[in-house]
């Protein structure tokens, strides 16, 4: 009897194994031996590989190893439902919403990261050709770190793969991160609404990597220069500047 069977039995786990074909085997009942005898051409021992289906044990051969602790990508503490009221009602400056705009497959990994400051609607666009989460977070840290801490209090994302390295933002520049519910990007409505405006300039078939180097900056200037009723007909640029010069934003 394999030592791993005894280990699982002591742990109170069902002693079931699987072979490469996916069949369940129970060594205690002798079914593994009967299956081997019934084969017309018994396989070599080296060709058999056993995988335990016990969820709490990682067994290889006859040696049992402790299971690794699961890493929670989006802890409940980061849920959008735990955001403070001043973020939800947009009364506090420095809380942003972020998203990643992608384009047609023919353009490869081209993407544009959108960041919108919720109170002033001030928008920042970052064009890139890498969708990996750690690369995106490092790019955000590089772009946002020069801003005052009060201008980068938090960012709300959806639960896309581009956001799994969100801890980099907290350790890199002290920015708190929040997440929408699964499959509920509409909960970050500020950036979703802005994306619709941006698509007027950057449609899905746009070759953004071939645009002039200053095209993103010009698009941002255009978006941030439009007077908004919700801002008392100030532009996002004016509203953002006014918040920066307030004593509490320094």
204-229: average pLDDT: 94
Whether 26 shows a pLDDT value over 80: the answer reads no
The pTM assigned to this predicted structure is: 0.71
Sign of the dihedral through C-alpha 57, 59, 65, 68? negative
Supply the pLDDT for residue 250: 41
Whether 52 shows a pLDDT value over 50: the answer reads no
Largest CA distance in the chain: 84
Supply the pLDDT for residue 66: 64
Supply the pLDDT for residue 22: 47
Supply the pLDDT for residue 72: 82
Sign of the dihedral through C-alpha 146, 221, 215, 126? positive
Supply the pLDDT for residue 247: 74
Contact between residue 74 and residue 179 where contact means Cβ atoms under 8 Å apart: yes
Q: What confidence tier does 185 reach under pLDDT thresholds 50, 70, 90?
A: very high
Report the percent of the chain where pLDDT is more than 70: 71
Q: What confidence tier does 44 reach under pLDDT thresholds 50, 70, 90?
A: very low
Supply the pLDDT for residue 70: 64
For residue range 119-176, what is the model confidence (pLDDT) as tens digits?
Answer: 999 999 999 999 999 999 999 999 999 999 999 999 999 999 999 999 999 999 999 9
Whether 32 shows a pLDDT value over 50: the answer reads no
Domains and CATH numbers, the chain: 3-66 (no CATH), 76-249 (3.30.420.10)
Supply the pLDDT for residue 68: 66
- Return the top range by mean pLDDT from 23-32, 35-44, 103-112, 151-160: 151-160
Report the percent of the chain where pLDDT is more than 90: 67
128: nearest Cα among 158, 146, 108: 108
- CA distances (Å), 235 to each of 23, 66, 219, 249, in order? 66, 58, 14, 19
């Amino acid at each position: 009897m394999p030592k791993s069977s005894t280990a699982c039995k002591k742990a109170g786990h069902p002693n079931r194994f699987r072979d490469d074909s996916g069949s369940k085997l129970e060594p205690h009942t002798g079914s593994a031996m009967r299956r081997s005898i019934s084969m017309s051409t018994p396989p070599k021992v080296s060709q058999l590989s056993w995988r335990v289906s016990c969820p709490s044990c990682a067994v290889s051969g006859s040696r049992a190893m402790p299971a690794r602790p699961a890493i929670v990508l989006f802890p409940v503490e980061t849920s959008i439902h735990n955001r403070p009221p001043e973020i939800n009602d947009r009364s506090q400056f420095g809380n942003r919403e972020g998203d990643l705009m992608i384009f047609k497959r023919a353009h490869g990994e081209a993407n544009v990261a959108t960041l919108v400051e919720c109170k002033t609607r001030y928008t920042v666009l970052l064009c890139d050709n890498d969708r990996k989460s750690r690369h995106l977070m490092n790019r955000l840290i590089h772009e946002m770190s020069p801003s005052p801490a009060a201008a980068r209090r938090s960012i709300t994302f959806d639960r896309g793969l581009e956001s799994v390295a969100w801890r980099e933002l907290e350790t890199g520049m002290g920015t708190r991160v929040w997440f929408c519910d699964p499959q509920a990007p509409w909960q970050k409505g500020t950036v979703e609404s802005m994306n619709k405006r941006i698509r007027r300039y950057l449609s899905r078939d746009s070759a953004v990597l071939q645009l002039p180097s200053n095209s993103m900056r010009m698009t941002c200037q255009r978006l941030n220069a439009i007077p908004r009723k919700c801002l008392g007909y100030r532009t996002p640029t004016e509203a953002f500047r006014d918040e920066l010069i307030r004593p509490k934003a320094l």
